[in-house]
Amino acid sequence: MKNEKKRQILFAVLCASLLIALDLLTKTAARRALSGGPIELIPGVFELHYLENHGAAFGILQNQRVFFILITAVFLAAAVFFYAKLPADRRFLPLRVITVFIAAGAVGNFVDRMVFSYVRDFLYFKLIDFPIFNVADIYVTCGAVAFFIFTVFFYKDDDFNFIKKKKG
């Protein structure tokens, strides 16, 4: 089973790397393409609108870069620990996929904070005036919702005994 676990970890790193690359590529393209202003894709509904976000979701905690870097580092350590503890069997595949998406989203925005001191956002639902977001935010949000749904409706408390097990 150890080889299977190593294979899963390697595959997770590869998938996360691809997801992070996609996020960073879309942010770079948005920065270049939207320098002249927003592009309305669906009039009155959805547009590409470049924004340099110095805070978190919904613009909260503006200019708290060190805080975000520390929180992201702690979160990523927890995600790696959780992934490493997940049993290799097929039943836990959804949690492995979810963890990869959430971690990739966190890293995508972490890279922005480290390189630019802000996060590049560019997706805007004008119809409902939803805060501008990016691909990494989609990974984190969808992953968190999926994690909630799976842990509440699919997995049982006993499924998470692997976290408490001590080898000895």
The catalytic residues are 121, 137
**Number of neighbours of residue 104 by Cβ within 10 angstroms:** 26
With a CB cutoff of 8 Å and minimum separation 6, the contacts of 120 are: 27, 30, 31, 50, 51, 52, 53, 112, 134
Helix (H) or strand (E) holding 2: helix 2-33
Q: Which of 15, 2, 29, 55 is nearest to 123 (CA)?
A: 29
What span, in angstroms and rounded, lies between the C-alpha atoms of 62 and 113?
Answer: 12
